[in-house]
Structure 1
Amino acid sequence: MFFTASPVTYRNGIIKLLPSKAKGRGAVLLDKIHQVLKGWIKGQLLGFLFITILTGAGLWILQMPLILTLALVAGLLNFVPNFGPIIAMVPAFLLGLSQGSNTAIIIVGMYTAIQVVQSAVTQPLIQKKMVSMPAALIVFGQVAMGLLGGFWGILLATPIMAIIMAVVNNLYVEEQSENK
């Protein structure tokens, strides 16, 4: 995140550590990594908007109180894979119970449906577009990183996979193409 927010400082510092022959190639690689991380953050923000808007619309249709607050909580907690959406659903469910058990059940169904669409359809497509990485690779990365790093592994899987892809493309794939 710091690298993406203030890339020049970190980029220049890392380039100073490289041998003279590698400085040019290192600068190109760091620029690519910066673009990848920027794309990932944009994708996360689009996912936030998707969840916030759909949740707000659903709660508005159900005439629930605190629509904006509940929608923002759902959008923000969407940054936390797996558990975030469940945690976001709890206050909405409890408020739904005050409206009646049918409303609470509808809220659980609505939150679940929104998350299924988000995690299975829109987020992989958004990340594929923003990070230029196949959706299957993103899912593979999340599973592998989840096994290795638990919660933090899942949370950081996509940017880590994107960085690995940028490094491999820059240092190996492009090198192989140039040697042909």
Structure 2
Amino acid sequence: MNLLKRYKSKLLNLLLILILVIFILSYYLSNSIKNVVNILLISAILAYIIAPIRDFFQDKFKMKKKTASMIIILIIFGMFITCITLIIPELFKEISNIGVMFDNVASFFEHIYVKFRVDSVPILKSIYNELMEKGNVLFLNLSKSLFGNIVLIVENIVSCAVIPVVIYYFLCDGNKIYTKILFILPAEKREVIKKILSDIDKVLGRYIVGQVFLSVIIGFLTFILLIIFKVKFPIWISILNAILNIIPYFGPIFGGIPAVLVALLDSPIKALWVTVGVFIIQQIEGNILSPKITADSTDMHPIIIIILLLIGDKFGGFIGMLLAVPIGVIIKVLYDDINYYLF
């Protein structure tokens, strides 16, 4: 009987490994499976982030879990639809002004070229010509990228529409799914796994709260900056900057670019002042807020976080950078807890 039990355990482990290998191969070889898995992963991550808000509604207003989940989904969906309704028409309107923006920039550089007699210095003349050529290439690439992304969003609109429904079920039945997954594991290891997952949840939750708090501050500072210099779309650019700021250290740089580009629609001088303002915000974020909030919430040295971000960018681009630190946090907790519980 003991021999049968031992072989049964090994066969079960072998079967789980085989299923995992088949799943990974299917993910990489089949686009349909990849799309389904991506929707589930995105929904699970968003549900995990939204869960504390649901818990707040549930406790504060004495609601059932399903009711609180539905209200949160409807609020977020309503905000998303409102943003799309308001910003898409303006976005298409401003896309036609991109040419004007580049004309303004070209006129500005041409004015500098004439005023300082750049053509009399061969090196400066060569640099000027190179900049103008690069600017034209950038304009063409930006136009293609904008329209390409719009087409991609339209093509995936049905998939995106499914995500709120999946998030709702994760919010309602997440604990049931979690319990059923634990039943797959051997009974003697479940308590240790539960403790490890609980520790991951605490540290990861602290990191997410810290990043959200930081993003709100940066979004508010960006909004004030854009209002001062009367840049178009201050609310939307501030929200975008706040979202991008979830990526530690590099997020404010990505988030500052739209503000500068929109300022260029009016004039290069305004764009210059906005660039200075964005730089000051980045210094506040990078030197004061981020090292304290991010490093404290993850209990990791800033240099480790930067290395993780660089690795994430190398392997997964923007999404890789977004997930790099949370994955690093999970690995760190796993390492600490495995050493504590098993050794």
One fold, TM greater than 0.5?
yes
- Shift of the 140–95 alpha-carbon distance from structure 1 to 2, 3 Å rule, reads closer
Structure 1 partner of 2:224 = 57
Partner deviation per Cα, 1:86-131 (whole Å, 9 max, x = no partner)? 4653355334542x43221111222233234424542232122222
Report the alpha carbon displacement of residue 152 of structure 1 after superposing the two structures with TM: 2.5
Q: Distance in 2 between matches of 1:112 and 1:87?
A: 11
Report the alpha carbon displacement of residue 54 of structure 1 after superposing the two structures with TM: 1.1
Q: Distance in 2 between matches of 1:103 and 1:166?
A: 46
Structure 2 partner of 1:45 = 212
Q: Distance in 2 between matches of 1:133 and 1:10?
A: 31
Residues 93-172 of structure 1: pairs in structure 2 closer than 5 A: 93-95=261-263, 97-98=265-266, 100-119=267-286, 121-172=288-339
Are the counterparts in 1 of residues 206 and 297 from structure 2 also a CA contact under 8 Å? yes
Structure 2 partner of 1:26 = 193
Q: Secondary structure at the match of 1:133?
A: coil
Q: Determine which structure has greater relative contact order: mean sequence separation of CA pairs < 8 Å that are 6+ residues apart, divided by chain length.
A: 1
Q: Distance in 2 between matches of 1:92 and 1:147?
A: 26
Structure 2 gaps, min length 5: 1-44, 52-170
Are the counterparts in 1 of residues 210 and 293 from structure 2 also a CA contact under 8 Å? yes
Bigger radius of gyration among the two:
2
1:16 matched to 2:183? The reply is yes
> Aligned residues: percent identity?
22
Are the counterparts in 2 of residues 124 and 138 from structure 1 also a CA contact under 8 Å? no
AA aligned to 1:38 is G
Q: Distance in 2 between matches of 1:148 and 1:173?
A: 31
Q: Secondary structure at the match of 1:27?
A: helix
Are the counterparts in 1 of residues 245 and 255 from structure 2 also a CA contact under 8 Å? no
Q: State which drifts further: 89-98 or 148-157.
A: 89-98
Q: Distance in 1 between matches of 2:222 and 2:313?
A: 27
- Shift of the 146–120 alpha-carbon distance from structure 1 to 2, 3 Å rule, reads farther
Q: Distance in 2 between matches of 1:87 and 1:48?
A: 11
Structure 1 gaps, min length 5: none
- Shift of the 71–151 alpha-carbon distance from structure 1 to 2, 3 Å rule, reads closer
Q: Distance in 1 between matches of 2:227 and 2:204?
A: 34
- Shift of the 83–165 alpha-carbon distance from structure 1 to 2, 3 Å rule, reads closer
Partner deviation per Cα, 1:17-60 (whole Å, 9 max, x = no partner)? 22111111111011111112212221221121121111112223
Are the counterparts in 2 of residues 125 and 135 from structure 1 also a CA contact under 8 Å? no
Report the alpha carbon displacement of residue 15 of structure 1 after superposing the two structures with TM: 1.9
Are the counterparts in 2 of residues 64 and 96 from structure 1 also a CA contact under 8 Å? no
Q: Distance in 1 between matches of 2:263 and 2:220?
A: 19
Partner deviation per Cα, 1:136-172 (whole Å, 9 max, x = no partner)? 2212222233333333322111100100011011001
Q: State which drifts further: 62-71 or 127-136.
A: 62-71
Report the alpha carbon displacement of residue 69 of structure 1 after superposing the two structures with TM: 2.9
Q: State which drifts further: 8-17 or 49-58.
A: 8-17
Are the counterparts in 1 of residues 295 and 301 from structure 2 also a CA contact under 8 Å? yes
Are the counterparts in 2 of residues 97 and 103 from structure 1 also a CA contact under 8 Å? no
1:89 matched to 2:257? The reply is yes
